[in-house]
Structure 1
C-alpha cells in the first residue's frame, strides 16, 4: 500500500485526494518548468521543531537565487515576492487564511494540505464539512489560487513536515495602521495581505484578535 493509500484509509473522516486528482483543479495546479533545487538544498539545513510550527516569511539566502528571479518575473509578472518556509509537527486544521494573490508551496517532505474555497465563507463563517484534504508528495511544487483557503500543512509522519512558501512581498507582515472594518471582510484582515478565520480551539490566535469563524470539529490528519 502506498503512503497516499494508507493515509486515505486512516482519514476517512475527510474527503481525501491526491494532488494529481482532478478534484484539486478548483484549488490550484501543479507547477512545472522550474527547478527548485536551490531552495530544496537550503531547506536541508532547516529543522522541524516538535513544540509547534515555525514560519519564516522571508529568508535572504532563499531570495538570492536564480529561481527567485525566474519565479518573480515569469510567475508573478515581475511583482516583488518573498520566499520563506514553514516547518512543524502540525496535524490539525486550526484555521483558514487567504491572500489577494497566488501562493506557491514546494513540498520538501510528503505532507497534507487541508483546503477550502473563499466562496464557501458565509458572513465570515465557514463549515468544516466543505474541507478537502490533498496529499502532496515530496518534491512537488503547487500554486494555490487566491480563492483557496489554506493554513499550515499537516504532517504524514512523526518527523513532521517541511514546505517552501512563496508569496507577494510583504504578506504576513504586521498591519501598519488599525483596521477600520468598513466591510464584513475587513473583520477577517489579520496581517498584511492575510485574511484569517480560526477554529475556536486555536485560542492563541483568538486571543490575538483572529475571528473564530470555523464551525465544526477541528479536523485532524492521522498518520
Structure 2
C-alpha cells in the first residue's frame, strides 16, 4: 500500500489531501453502503496499458450484477446507468470535465484524483492553481458531485491505476447533434453529458475539438 505521508511530501507543489480529509467535502463523499465485489472481480481480468489510458464506458458483464441494480434504483433514483472502467499510466492533469450528474469512482488500486470546482470556471477558463489533489486508497468508492471538475486518475506506482466508473447511461457517447450556442458554456459541450476543458499541452484533445481552457501548469503527481 502507498504511504500517504511520503506521497504528500513528494507533491508539495500540489494542495494534497487524503480522501478522508474535510477538504473533500465540497467535491463529493465516500460511499460505504454497497458491496462492489462483483465489479471488482471483473476488474481482475482487465489490464493496464503502458502507453495511454483506456476508458470503457459500458461493460455488459459489470452491468449484469446485483450492485448495478442497487445503484441504479437507489443512488440514481431509478435512472438508467452504465458501469465501466478507466485504467492507465496517467500522472498529469491534461484537462477537466464535468457532468450534470454525480459520478461514482471505485479505486481498484491506490490512486490520486485531481479535482476542481465548476464555480471556478471564468469565461470558459480554469486556472490550475486552484486544483486540489486527493489520495484514494485501493478499495475506496467515492461520489463526485456534478459540480466537481475531474478527469482521469493519476497513478502512484509504476504499475499504473485501475478505477471503476459509474455514470448515467449514455454519458461520454458521441453527440447526436451540436446544440445551438446560446451560452458560453455550450462551447464546452464535448460529448453527451460531458463538458470539457483541455490543457493546451494536451494537443490530442484539442485536435478533437476540446476547448483549450486550462490555464497554468499541467500539474503532475509524483511518486
Determine if the alignment matches structure 1 residue 145 to structure 2 residue 149. Answer: no
- 2:2 and 2:160 mapped to 1: Cα distance? 18
Native 8 Å contact 2:2 2:110 kept in 1: no
- Classify the secondary structure of the residue corresponding to 1:186: helix
| Residue pairs, 1:14-163, within 5 angstroms | 14-163=14-163
The residue number in structure 2 matching 1:220 is 220
- Classify the secondary structure of the residue corresponding to 2:91: coil
- 1:181 and 1:164 mapped to 2: Cα distance? 33
Cα displacement (A) at 1:53: 0.0
- Classify the secondary structure of the residue corresponding to 1:220: coil
Count of matched residue positions in the alignment of Structure 1 and Structure 2: 223
Deviations 1:123-150, CA, capped at 9 Å, x for gaps = 0000011000000000000000000000
Deviations 1:24-50, CA, capped at 9 Å, x for gaps = 000000001100000000000000001
Q: Which runs of 5+ in 1 are unaligned?
A: none
- 2:31 and 2:62 mapped to 1: Cα distance? 18
- 1:156 and 1:2 mapped to 2: Cα distance? 7
Normalising to structure 1: TM-score of the pair?
0.99
Determine if the alignment matches structure 1 residue 188 to structure 2 residue 188. Answer: yes
Q: Which runs of 5+ in 2 are unaligned?
A: none
- 2:175 and 2:41 mapped to 1: Cα distance? 32
- Classify the secondary structure of the residue corresponding to 1:173: coil
Over aligned residues, Cα RMSD in angstroms?
A: 0.9
Cα displacement (A) at 1:179: 3.5
